[in-house]
Amino acid sequence: MVVSVKIAFDGTNYHGFQIQDDVPTIFGTFQEALIKILGHSTDIKGCSRTDRGVHAKCFILSFETHKNLNLSRFPLAMNANLPIDIRVIEANEVSEGFHARYDAKGKEYTYYILNSHIDDPFNNKYYYKVASNLDVNKMNEAAQYYVGYHDFRSFMAQKSNINDCHRTVYSAKVEKIDNMVIYKVSADGYLYNMVRIMVGTLINVGKGLYEPEKVKEIILAENRAEAGPTVPPQGLFLTNVFYD
Amino acid sequence: MVVSVKIAFDGTNYHGFQIQDDVPTIFGTFQEALIKILGHSTDIKGCSRTDRGVHAKCFILSFETHKNLNLSRFPLAMNANLPIDIRVIEANEVSEGFHARYDAKGKEYTYYILNSHIDDPFNNKYYYKVASNLDVNKMNEAAQYYVGYHDFRSFMAQKSNINDCHRTVYSAKVEKIDNMVIYKVSADGYLYNMVRIMVGTLINVGKGLYEPEKVKEIILAENRAEAGPTVPPQGLFLTNVFYD
């Protein structure tokens, strides 16, 4: 059977998703627990390569096993073998050939900006703090320029070398709840650091460094230097993955 | 001038509020920062003695100083000298003779119960997990028996020796938001472990171990052994303090 698994994790103590030698990763930690449960090793596919320090409220993995697993009991069994910062939420049987990454039609990311000069003593690992006042309406106006099919080269880390930088952003929204400015974006795919550079650019708009319309020019410039800074990973959450 | 200060803190790494030798406390940590800011020591009053591991979203302290402090800048100055798990929210000048504890007319506590068999990887320091299904309506019905002026001896830790165990509960409510069962209680004062024993008793009702009406009998019994268990401190937050 092929199984898709939904997990959530706090990325603070991990070097991202992808397995690496000698450092803790989400993949490596999940794989170790899975081998204990299955009694055999198997090829695990993840829906995305999340960066070091990025979190996920919804991350999809898939694997194949010849065992007839009781999937309703699988989360409990896995969670007993995982550290508390990685939790298996649910598991479902999927059709032969399902691939968590290639079959994903899109993903939603959410970025949290605490707009205050006072940190939150409880959730300080889960936002980026900006003390200066942010104009949320202008940020949301600016975010609408991201929507659509564009070359997002301006929003890609310079060390990345990808040829086709076209992506389709389905929706983008900035809203404020209490002191928290929340950016939600859905797209068919993302370039390296794309969401974090989008947010850095929106913060510049929110601070009044430039007008919302400038975002249109930044996209057209196809030049990383035109966009805002890359904000830190701890405010970023993968919040949804879409399949047919 | 006499100053009242509102702080919030994550109690996980502290041995409660009251100062003790050789262990970190909220009082000791706050005092150390305050002496740096004031340049002199002063008598600090806290609104309550919170237990080890209990948190506060609103905790009031008061102190006197001969300096003419700029109170709008005080939070920033203090926060630069405090660990991130204690934050000063605001400071206000109050009348001569104000005492954070004796002048408090009441306090509100909130207790968080995660009613799920899966932990939350992000907030796992801030709730008590109960996997078995809880009947929230019955819990709320039971909580209404707490309201009023009663002898709460059944809800006091046995090691405590207080003569007058009468307290007035102004309001008590149990509600569920997503997977979180939230108990909010306001009273003019609390006995040692009172909220945590109230919650342990409500959980027994929620599990169906006894009917809501049993809570009335438990109060009348004036016997700790009749009430439910003392739930752990990490789900408990002081959320409001009332003054005239």
Q: What is the mean pLDDT of each run of 10 residues along chain A (244 residues)?
A: 97 91 93 95 93 95 94 97 98 95 96 97 96 97 98 92 93 97 97 97 98 98 97 98 94
Distances (CA, A) of A184 to A7, A48, B111: 20, 17, 30
- pLDDT score at B59: 97
**C-alpha angle A43/A41/A103, rounded to 5°?**
20
Residue of B nearest to A121 (CA): B85
Longest dimension (CA), chain B: 58
Residue A186 CA from chain centroid, whole number: 10
Q: Is A41 on the interface with B (CB under 8 A)?
A: no
- pLDDT score at A160: 80
Question: Could you say which DSSP state residue B158 is in?
Answer: T
> Are the C-beta atoms of residues A47 and A104 closer than 8 Å to each other?
yes
B244 vs B170: CA distance, rounded Å: 15
Q: Is A141 on the interface with B (CB under 8 A)?
A: no
Residue of B nearest to A83 (CA): B121
Other Cβ atoms less than 10 A from the Cβ of A180: the count is 17
Residue type present at position A39: G
A53 Rama sector, left if φ>0, alpha if ψ -120 to 50, beta otherwise:
left
Please, which residues have CB within 8 angstroms of residue B220's CB and are 6 or more apart in sequence?
none
**Residues facing residue B107 across a β-bridge:** B187, B241
Inter-chain residue contact A55 with B89, CB threshold 8 Å: no
Min Cα separation A79/chain B (Å)? 8
Min Cα separation A187/chain B (Å)? 25
Residue with tokens 């080269």: A153
- pLDDT score at B244: 87
Min Cα separation A55/chain B (Å)? 9
> Are the C-beta atoms of residues B129 and B116 closer than 8 Å to each other?
yes
- pLDDT score at A18: 87
Q: Is A85 on the interface with B (CB under 8 A)?
A: yes
Q: Which of B123, B142, B244, B118 is nearest to B200 (CA)?
A: B142
Task: Name chain A contacts of B118, Cβ cutoff 8 Å.
Answer: 75, 79, 87-89
Task: Name chain B contacts of A129, Cβ cutoff 8 Å.
Answer: none
Question: Could you say which DSSP state residue B41 is in?
Answer: -
Residues of A labelled catalytic: 51
Q: Is B6 on the interface with A (CB under 8 A)?
A: no
Inter-chain residue contact A79 with B119, CB threshold 8 Å: yes
Q: Give the sign of the dihedral formed by CA B51, CA B52, CA B57, CA B61.
A: positive
Other Cβ atoms less than 10 A from the Cβ of A237: the count is 26
This prediction has a pTM of 0.92
Q: Is B175 on the interface with A (CB under 8 A)?
A: no
Q: How far apart are the first and last CA of chain B?
A: 19
A153 vs A166: CA distance, rounded Å: 8
Distances (CA, A) of B63 to A124, B21, B43, B46, B99: 28, 21, 6, 9, 8
- pLDDT score at B108: 98
A155 vs A221: CA distance, rounded Å: 10
- pLDDT score at A244: 87
Phi, psi of B141 (to 5 degrees): -60, -45
Per-residue pLDDT of chain B (244 residues; tens, 9 = 90+): 999 999 999 999 999 888 888 899 999 999 999 999 999 999 999 999 888 999 999 999 999 999 999 999 999 999 999 999 999 999 999 999 999 999 999 999 999 999 999 999 999 999 999 999 999 999 999 999 999 999 999 999 988 888 899 999 999 999 999 999 999 999 999 999 999 999 999 999 999 999 999 999 999 999 999 999 999 999 999 999 999 8
Q: Is A122 on the interface with B (CB under 8 A)?
A: yes
Burial A192-223 (b: 16+ CB within 10 A, else e): bbbbbbbbbbbbbbbbeebebebbeebbeeee
